[in-house]
Amino acid sequence: MKLTLSLLALCVPMATLHAHPSAAEDVQSVAAEMHETWDKPNLVLDLPVIVMHAGMAIADWVQAEKGGRALLKYHPAHQHWHTLLCGGAELTAVKHLEAAGMSSADAQILSAKLQQAELETLTSAQRQRIDSFSGLVKFSKGKPVASSAHDMHGDTHGH
């Protein structure tokens, strides 16, 4: 009996190492990816809302006078989040989430989560800034693929 309990005590912590991260850890990993990609010296990204569903996340961002939303996808093989799209009000539309690969049901859930979190969290000024991002910019491997990429940061790498 003691041996069984000892083995169980050793195995339980190991099992938790391989478990999927909790929602809070996912939020932290999305935030870490956004900061790593878009923070500038002396200009840190503010992420007032991050919502997740079915391996996808939407992060509202504000940086200085600019703002927008980023749609990210989790890649389990790489254990990493990647930005798929950046936009403003367009990223609240289910059709754009579906176009990015989500099922209709999952896109509706993610959109509803975003709308609820924004209602509870954002000021009207933040909402206006986030909605002000013009158009949609697609990303591949962390880089914009559209030639008309919106210039989030005022330099050439866009967002």
pLDDT in the model for residue 111: 98
Asked if 82 and 142 touch (Cβ cutoff 8 Å), the reply is yes
pTM of the model: 0.78
Could you report the average pLDDT of every consecutive run of 10 residues in the chain (159 residues)? 44 43 79 94 96 97 96 90 95 96 98 98 97 93 61 41
72: left (phi over 0), alpha (psi -120 to 50) or beta: beta
